[in-house]
Structure 1
Amino acid sequence: MKIVSINKTNIVNLSNCTALPDKFVDVHILTLRQLRSKLEPAEDSTAYEASWFMKHPELIFCTIPDGDATLTVYKNRFYTYTKFGYTCVIRIDFKNIEYERDELFTNTEDIPEKEFLDKPFLATLAYIGEMQWEANSEKRETYHKAFSIDGDEKEWNPSLATPCFLEMMEELECLAKRNTRLYTAVKNLSVLQQTIVVLLFFRSNTQKQIADRLQVSPQAISQALERAKKSLKKQLEDLYK
């Protein structure tokens, strides 16, 4: 059963990216079973908050833009689904999916693991993430309005908000600024450099594959990549001091 349709062009849309991790997977071919096999053994039963994952980027396995949302898979068998600044934390080792057959959620069906385990993992994780994000909407609205001044969710009252909440909002604001800086830095590269960055980091192409695709020499790709790295490092060096 096809759970959800994913527009593949979103996967390389730099305006949606949140990071450039060292390793990316080919989202067009990895199944959920294969993804699970590449992650650490399921030994951790801790319930983590979204803010915890922001502090541990070294655990990122891959980051995948999907329209307005971003999925980040972590090596400890969790993934986060972030949309409009709000993040859901979900375990990778779920056993079934509750599939809504209509928009009123009056007709549902439990899809067993065997139906999606050997299908591309992106569609499954995106569907579950969207459902969890929607399920949290009422709780999220109540929670945020309780801490905001005049209920506008734009200015926060420190006397009402918990330290954990204020810390989370500060981290989200910081992350948003980093995202903007990264996107701007990539857009400042030449067209060739942008293309190489996308194909190398978001499509898992090797430098030789990129050279063949663009019909230029591998040396030209290597040189352009080095120039792109130097440019990005110069533009973003203050973020990593």
Structure 2
Amino acid sequence: MEDMIRIAVDGPSGAGKSTIAKAVAQRLGIDYIDTGAMYRAIGYKMLKKGINVDDLEGIQRLLDTTEIDFSKGDIILDGQVINDLIRTPEISKQASSCSAVGIVREKLVDLQQKMGGAKSVVMDGRDIGTVVFPDAEYKFFITASPEERAKRRYNELIEKGQKVNYDQVLADITDRDHNDSTREITPLRKAEDAIEVDTTNMTIEEVIEYICKEMK
């Protein structure tokens, strides 16, 4: 347990957190936990069940019967791999909305803390260094300009065969930035002791090298 490390990677939507965190975890030989995917999974299930974000009783019943796990790079919701199903603009909006619901955050933060309390992990999200693991051994805040983040997300969705409009992707990212940073419950913010990395003009490999160098 003395050798166990937690690496917190926070930042706004589309900054490349997941890609960076996953690569760093692979390089270090430790597990990667995509907390954003956990909120997307809840949002996806809420949409499927027709549960509104204002229906707290319905959300609680849903949470009581929900299992989320990670295996070999897949996120598994109630036994089903849902990787591509939760990577749509609609689910992004739903994830942002449900992440502002107290009982949802309480449930998922508890799961995240249990995961990071049992083994070394790289965990990315919006409140890892401030709420989930304020005592993490390493903290990084990954960001980029809204335009660059929109371009990356647009290209990602196009490669997956989805029909999207760049201006709409940019508007969605701007809206989510506002929602995430102004919500009452654990808003997006950089931890005071986190290292900020602006990836606007950096390649993925450059960011990975920078983070690994800082950790050394």
Decide: shared fold, TM above 0.5: no
Highest Rg: 1 or 2?
1
**TM-score normalised according to structure 2 size:** 0.29
Structure showing greater relative contact order (alpha-carbon pairs closer than 8 Å, 6 or more residues apart) = 2
